[in-house]
Copies of this chain bind each other. A is one copy, B any other.
Amino acid sequence: MRVGVLTGGGDCPGLNAVIRSVVRKGAQEYAWKFVGIVDGWAGLVKDVTMALDVPAVRGILPLGGTILGSSRTNPLRLEDGIERIKNTLSAHKIDALVVIGGEDTLSVATALSDAGVNLVGVPKTIDNDVGGTDYTFGFNTAVTIATEAIDRLHTTAESHKRTLVVEVMGRHSGWIALHAGVAGGANAILIPEVEFDLDQVCAWVEKRFEINYAPIVVVAEGAVPKAGQMMVKDESRDEFGHVRLSGIGDWLARQIEHRTEKEARTTVLGHVQRGGTPSAYDRWLATRFGLHAVDAVKDGDFGMMMALRGTDITRIPLADATKATKRVPQELYTEFDVFFGT
């Protein structure tokens, strides 16, 4: 049995932990051979591979990033993408693939599986927006980092009359913002799933100032204000004609500052949230996903994705998982209403 392993999409702490457990279990328990696919789908399209055996995965458990490299190459956009992938698989005599990736990568996997490629998927994304699984690995690490940052801001909040805005990752879903905001004791949490009202945000901010403690506002990068509240000028392009880099965090701080007439400061964590060593939680989850992915390959149970359900790792059809982005449900968001603005 020869098994290819690939990682696709953006950085996510825990990728190496999956690779390691897949290879260790496959090689040590079943004597499988492995082929490392370099840079995600690009490696299969262009036939770029690397050696992948037990010595190659030693010591990688705590490392961020991925030893296999990654890319955002989407072979479905190439006319002969699937054919080229099949050729590479055939050239290397690869019997099955373990595909580790987020929504985009797993959507490709779903299509390839439909086209007859033997593969199993492992969901990863710091955004936690893959459906069908309670959590994805990487998410806990990102939330932990963002929460630590919010913790530190409380020191300033205790002694200065400034609104502190923290912009966290989450273009399409607010999982990181919600979890870190709740864990960090934020006074407002703005997520892409629910348009925010600048007047409401400023009311929360003002209410917080009343108890003599500066407000902390956590905003997901994909959060948007109600129609009409973001003025044209903010969407303008910079001196090079590019969309301005500075994001919702800065914009929001400016608006709050203007309306409340109290200083506002911004922290933009950026890629800090997706780097460094995975948390213990993510290593546990990633390791188990890897072990169970080997079981699925062993069982010939292809087209399935590993999923966390409670404390169990289960398998669900890839097609089910990739049909929609998992977003924060309204009722979960409102569960924390009591903390907003108070």
A: residues with CB less than 8 A from B are 10-11, 13, 21, 24-25, 28-29, 54, 58-59, 61-62, 64-66, 69-70, 134-135, 140, 143-149, 151-156, 158-160, 162, 164, 179-180, 182-185, 211, 213, 231, 233-234, 238-240, 242, 244-246, 250, 253-254, 257-258, 264-277, 279-281, 283-284, 287-288, 291, 309-311, 335-336, 338-339, 342
Contact = CB atoms under 8 A, between A and B. Distances in A.
12 contacts: A24-B342, A59-B154, A147-B280, A156-B271, A156-B274, A233-B239, A242-B254, A242-B258, A245-B266, A246-B246, A250-B250, A267-B270
Contacts of A62: 151, 154, 185
Given A245-B253, A250-B246, A154 B342 contact: no
A180 B279 CA distance: 11
A284 B240 contact: no
Copies per assembly: 4
Contacts of A309: 310
Nearest to A149: B272
Nearest to A180: B280
Nearest to A274: B156
Contact of A24 (B64, B240, B338): B338
Contacts of A254: 238-240, 242, 244-245
A234 B239 contact: yes
Contacts of A280: 140, 143-144, 146-148, 179-180, 183-184
| Residue of A24, A183, A338 ringed by the most chain B CB atoms within 10 A | A183
A140 to B, nearest CB: 6
B275 A311 contact: no
A11 B151 CA distance: 14
A58 B342 CA distance: 10
A269 B244 CA distance: 19
A104 B146 CA distance: 33
